Amino acid sequence: MILNILSNTEKSPIKTLAEQIGKWSVINVIDNINTLVVNAVDEYVIDLDNPMERERYYNYVKEKSGKFATLIHPESYIDKYANIEDGCVIYKGVVIRGDTNIGANVVLKTYVTVSHDSTIGNHSVICEKSTIGGFSHIGDNASIGFGSVFRDYSQIGNRCIVEIGSVVMNDFGDDKYISGYPARIKNQNKD
């Protein structure tokens, strides 16, 4: 089976993760996405940190009947009641607890914790050492900075950006740039 990694660099960390998992006989890194020819036999995964770009390439591959792999590091813990959609990349040390829903094409970087009954929207990227409290909701295309913390029952809307080290204790609507402790709206996200 062949895995194609869609990346903007040849030195993709996802390639290392895929090699550790060992499921694929051939692993290609495609760093010029303009040359991509999608076929229905291979599997695909996206190595881009911009949620909007992730969504664009995900939709392109899906329109061409491509299949997405989900990569889960063997040293991560995924509760048996968690639901993880296709195209996700889950790095080392991630913990997903309880009845949690992880949308399609999501990246959970090293040592992220997602507590019970939470939802992570499609195409979102949660950076290293972030903690998502129970019953929290993160919208589609969100970008969560390194070491951010979400209190239980916190919610952010679609296309939100949470700056590094922020502590989210309230609810925020769509298209917000959130920062601080406690987190406040810093700006509208114009991405």
Q: For 59-69, how does the pLDDT look when each residue is reduced to its tens digit (9 = 90+)?
A: 989 988 889 99
Phi, psi of 97 (to 5 degrees): -105, 145
pLDDT tens digits, one per residue of 147-173: 999 999 999 999 999 999 999 999 999
pLDDT tens digits, one per residue of 26-60: 888 887 766 777 877 789 999 989 999 999 999 98
- What is the spatial order of strands in the sheet that 137-138 belongs to? 83-84, 101-102, 119-120, 137-138, 155-156, 171-172
**Residue 131: pLDDT above 60?**
yes
How many CB atoms lie under 10 A from the CB of residue 124?
28
Does residue 35 sit in helix, strand or coil?
helix
Q: Which of 83, 110, 81, 79 is nearest to 96 (CA)?
A: 79
Q: Which residue has the tokens 């609507």?
A: 173
pLDDT score for 13? 84
